[in-house]
Structure 1
Amino acid sequence: MTELSRSSPLAAVSPLDGRYASKTADLVPYASEAALIEARLRVEVTYLLALADADGVDCEVTAEERAHLREVVDGFDADDAALVKQIETEGTEEFAATRHDVKAIEYFLRTETPERLHPWIHFGLTSEDVNNLAHRLNAKGAVEEVLLPEIEALRASLTEMAREHRDVAMLARTHGQPATPTTFGKEMAVFAARLGRAEARLRAAVDELSGKLAGASGTYAAHVAAYPDVDWRAFSAAFVDDLGLDHTPLATQINPCDDLAALFDALSGVNNVLLDLDRDVWRYVSDRYLGQESEAGETGSSTMPHKVNPIDFENSEGNLSKANADLTFLRDYVTSSRLQRDLSDSTVKRNVGAAFAHCLIGYRKTATGLGKVVPNEQVMREELETTPEIIGEAVQTILRREGDTEAYERVKELTRGQRVTLADFRELFDDLDVDEAVRAELRALTPAGYTGVADELVDELD
């Protein structure tokens, strides 16, 4: 094979950067290496300015310098990111290669500040003070700005489907077997409600992301050694809070990642709801309860021209399953460290973006699939009509109400493992020793009408 350009999508090792690159582009500002570099820079600059504002600290930054530093952060672009990476890996005329990603940020900032400020850049910090904040800022942005809007849109679509089809009766299945009828709208309402609860849990996890800034072993030792009279704990709490994160007052060199673990777990909860939806809708398509609108020119099968496959739900299922595998690994891994610090979590956290990307693909594929399906009311009605045994539950319950102690056994003998008709039920009704009003009540039962208050339950949605 002819050698491919490294920039070609066909040369990408991961499908996230190849086949699916256009579908995950919205995460680039939060999940790429450039995004991590930018977040670190933002933390370092914000910290430098906070030092200048702290009482008792000798750092002074002029108004002109402040304005320039804000421009450096706000105008940070691909060329700047490339320069930081060069300082880390290759070096420049001014700096030897740092072989350290956070140190490269410090040296980059030296090119943008007067020499008198250089000692104050990264003053008293360990790299993890910067990294833990940068990772959380990016995770927060990715979830709030990219993933949550997709989840909200899915919930809105399910709610709309629930309300529109609230009274479309269909056969339910328990253990895969015909069961008490429901309505298509009520089933979609269940998923909408579940997704709403999972979304709320995810929002709570995002709101509880926390940051640490306390030095090499979480004791503020370097800060206190330099300025023993400064209340560094209060400084740290205010600084982290200003970044939009909760403050972690007790930490080792690393910020304990229980908050990130909760976030990953909450995302898995969202994904589990949608995986359940994908599989149920796939079955509804298979049973022809749902039809699919085909796209012009689309090929369903390379050999069977008639097929319109539920590929969006299948693709979503695969991506959400992969996302959950990654999120479970991340959740379990990031909460442990060897004593004060080891570096294994650094490479692991670089994969958070990949997990988010699989989530995003899954959400969008489910949304696309839902936009194509249409309830086939005729098929649903025909299957109800050909499965009259499902009214057996109603029959035996009404007879129990009338004091028939053998009601269950009577209906079981008629229906269990048997194909029965409404006529068979009516013969049973004719032989019953009940009032004519009860007999009429039994005769009025139909599969399509036996849905309880399924249509009203849709109103339980917010």
Structure 2
Amino acid sequence: MPLSDQPLSPLDGRYRRITEPLAEHLSEAGLNRARLRVEVEWLIALTDAGVAGASALTADEQAALRGLVTDFGDAEIAELTRYEAVTRHDVKAVEYLLRDRLTTLGLDRIAELTHFAFTSEDVNNLAIALTVQDALRTVWLPAFDAVLGRLVEKARAWAAVPMLARTHGQPATPTTMGKELAVFAHRLQRLRAGVLSVEVLGKSNGASGDYAAHVVAAPDVDWEAVSRRFVTGLGLTWNPLTTQIESHDWQVELYGRLTHVNGVLHNLCTDVWLYIADGYLRQLPVAGATGSSTMPHKVNPIRFENAEANLELSTGVLGTLERTLVTSRLQRDLTDSSTQRNIGVGFGHALVALSNLAAGLDEVDVDPVALQADLDRNQEVLGEAIQTVVRAEIAAGRSCLTNPYELVKELTRGRRVTAERLAEFVRGLDLEPGAQERLAALTPATYTGLAERLVAHLDDGGR
């Protein structure tokens, strides 16, 4: 195969195995199949409404028409290519294909209702809505849920594993590894609901959105009712008020929410990468895999680095769609048409990222020994606990100490403190026996508050 025939994008080359399910919906062929579906359903809607004296199709005739969509394959793809070479118009090619098939099915009597009163955007807005909705729910969502499921599983498994927190990158009040992963899971659970709540809109109202051709050709038909039944029958929400184009606001909302998801996943990647770098998480070697071409010992966090890169690419494409599709000059321009050809690219990079994230999470385990060692090295993080307990004792009238924050700051700020020195400091404080005992028993590993219990919020969907 000559180099000129090789895939230009890794989505259709190196990552083809991962992105192949998206091609079913977001490829040119997937879009053309959806266009054919829209044209077929419009024919059925028009005959059901008796437009231009047409009689309703029989159940067998409707089934035969819908069979054109389910049987859409290589022959139709090749035929559309031949039609488009002449028409120089992709939607017109679909119309001609359908007219040809009507002859084959013995339905020439309704040939002139093909693409009747439609503009190309009536077909395209509905076809794109159908393909994006299907790709989102049947491809993106399972891949996203696979990552979310692994995250929830690890959050619960590691809920009680204590870990030194690092605010501003510095040692801070301890937490647990499970609780920190639960934070990401909770964020993603909320965002998942937001993504799925976006209403996917569609319209079929003609060249300027006014049903002008419809009304002059068939003035007795309730065209708004026909349009509403047709659009909702496709499983979409009817948009009653548009220009020539459906205004794309649902796409802007969806891509904005998907880029938000990408951002949270990117944050997860960078945090897991840092936990690996600190030794908190260890990577499980994969048999036969090579981490470095020169350093045999290395197990690199490539899954998370790959996911980072692909999330950034996905966000770049989806973010461009979000910014571009919100605007259309006057009643129509073709900026949206060219831009929407890249929807599959945005989804494709997201899918590659999700695949790598799921695999990466499968290949890491917590290292409790490393976590404990880091906690033991940072006894000074108990300074917060000490000064807070002393404040409570002063407020309750059980201690004569003053300025507890300054006392602890003088001991701990910017320096290492041993467990013995901290214990000696606590023994010297004017505290009731109960407070003394609580502080004496406290260690960095046990100073995690409600962290373990908080993970249970994931059990009810993160609410």
Output the TM-score relative to the length of structure 2: 0.95
Equivalent runs, 1:121-160 vs 2, <5 Å: 121-160=114-153
Alignment of 1:47-66 (within 5 A): 47-55=42-50, 57-60=52-55, 62-63=57-58, 64-66=60-62
Give, in whole Å, the separation in 1 of the partners of 2:393 and 2:66. 80
Q: Match of 1:16, SS?
A: helix
How do 1:230-379 residues align onto structure 2 when only pairs under 5 Å count? 230-379=221-370
Structure 1 residue aligned with 2:433? 436
Contact 1:34 1:78 in 2 (8 A): no
For the residues of structure 1 that align with 2:14 and 2:114, how far apart are their CA atoms? 41
Is the contact made by 1:257 and 1:334 (CA closer than 8 Å) also made in structure 2? yes
Alignment size in residue pairs? 448
Asked whether the 8 Å contact 1:333–1:345 carries over to 2, the reply is yes
Residue pair 2:202, 2:237 contacting (<8 A) in 1 also: yes
Distance 1:119 1:61 in 2: 15
Q: Matched residues in 2 for 1:337 and 1:380: separation?
A: 55
User: After superposition, where does 1:411-430 map in structure 2 within 5 Å?
Assistant: 411-430=408-427
* More moved, 328-337 vs 428-437: 428-437
CA separation in 1, counterparts of 2:456 and 2:433?
Answer: 36
CA spacing shift, 1:60–1:378, aligned 2, 3 Å: same
Cα shift at 1:439 = 2.3
- Structure 1: give runs of 5+ residues left out of the alignment: 90-96
- 1:149 Cα deviation from its structure 2 partner: 1.1
Answer yes or no: is 1:119 the counterpart of 2:116. no
Deviations 1:52-94 (A, max 9, x none): 00045422364353332122111111221121121001xxxxx
Displacement of 1:117 in angstroms is 2.1
* Contact 1:223–1:232 under 8 Å retained in 2: yes
Which residue number corresponds to residue 72 of structure 1? 68
Q: 2:49, 2:56 within 8 Å by CA — same for their partners in 1? A: no
Q: Within 1, Cα distance between the matches of 2:433 and 2:62?
A: 90
1:270 counterpart letter in structure 2: V
Aligned to 1:94: none
Match of 2:203 among 209, 212, 215: 212
Alignment match, 1:98: 87
Q: Which residue of the partner structure matches residue 15 of structure 1?
A: 10
Is 1:169–1:182's contact at 8 Å kept on the other side of the alignment? yes
Counterpart position of 2:397: none
Residues in 1 aligned to 2:402 and 2:47: alpha-carbon distance in whole angstroms: 85
The match for 1:175 is: 168
1:24 is matched with 19
Matching residue of 1:93? none
Change (3 A) 1:250 1:16: same
Q: Do the aligned residues in 2 keep the contact of 1:65 with 1:113 (CA within 8 Å)?
A: no
Please report the TM-score for the alignment, with normalisation by the length of structure 1.
Answer: 0.95
Partner residue of 2:181 out of 157, 175, 188 = 188
Distance 1:347 1:86 in 2: 21
Structure 1 CA distance for aligned equivalents of residues 128 and 371 of structure 2: 49
**Aligned Cα root-mean-square deviation (Å):** 1.3
Matched-pair identity in %:
49
Partner Cα distance (1:445, 1:65) in 2: 78
Counterpart residue type for residue 338 of structure 2:
T
Amino acid at match of 1:43: V
